[in-house]
């Protein structure tokens, strides 16, 4: 009484040759989104990682550095994966090389 009848609609006739083109065109925005994502996010991040690795590989004894924790110090010793960081006179701590985030100009730390 209060419910009206629902009738199914017939599906529109599909074009025989245009089906492949329409599926490719529907994928175009998705492909475009991945291309934009690569150039905006992935490529700059890979460039930054490459620069950081080059900086860590170029560390030398006597360099003044800043660590990820914000600690300032002078490189006193270097091994393959660790550095000895002199943070005060007579105080040397061991850190991973990857913890270095910035090399400071000489004479910054007094």
Ordered strands of the 100-104 beta sheet: 91-96, 82-88, 72-78, 64-67, 100-104
Task: State the pLDDT at residue 18.
Answer: 57
Q: How far apart, in whole angstroms, are the C-alpha atoms of residue 82 and residue 95?
A: 5
Question: Could you give the angle at the alpha carbon of 60 between the alpha carbons of 55 and 64, nearest 5°?
Answer: 80
Residue that has been written with the tokens 């004894």 in this structure: 61
85 to 51, 76, 82, 93: CA distances (angstroms): 22, 6, 9, 5
pLDDT tens string 5-51: 878 787 776 555 557 788 888 888 999 999 999 999 999 999 999 99
Mean pLDDT (the chain, rounded): 89
Task: State the pLDDT at residue 2.
Answer: 81
Task: State the pLDDT at residue 25.
Answer: 85
Residue that has been written with the tokens 């007094």 in this structure: 110
Residue that has been written with the tokens 């000895």 in this structure: 84
Range 70-76 average pLDDT: 95
pLDDT tens string 97-107: 999 999 999 98
Task: State the pLDDT at residue 102.
Answer: 95
**pTM, entire model:** 0.67
Other CB atoms within a 10 A radius of the CB of residue 71 amount to 14
Query: Closest Cα partner for 101 from 44, 62, 49, 42?
Result: 49
């Amino acid at each position: 009484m209060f419910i009206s009848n629902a009738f199914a609609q017939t599906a529109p006739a599909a074009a025989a040759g245009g089906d492949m083109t329409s599926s490719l065109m529907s994928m175009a925005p998705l492909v475009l989104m991945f291309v934009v994502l690569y150039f905006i996010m992935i490529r700059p991040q890979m460039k930054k990682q490459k620069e950081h690795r080059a900086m860590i590989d170029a560390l030398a004894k006597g360099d003044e550095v800043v660590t990820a924790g914000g600690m300032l110090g002078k490189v006193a010793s270097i091994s393959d994966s660790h550095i000895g960081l002199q943070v005060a006179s007579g105080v040397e701590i061991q850190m991973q090389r990857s913890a270095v985030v910035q090399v400071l100009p000489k004479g910054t730390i007094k």
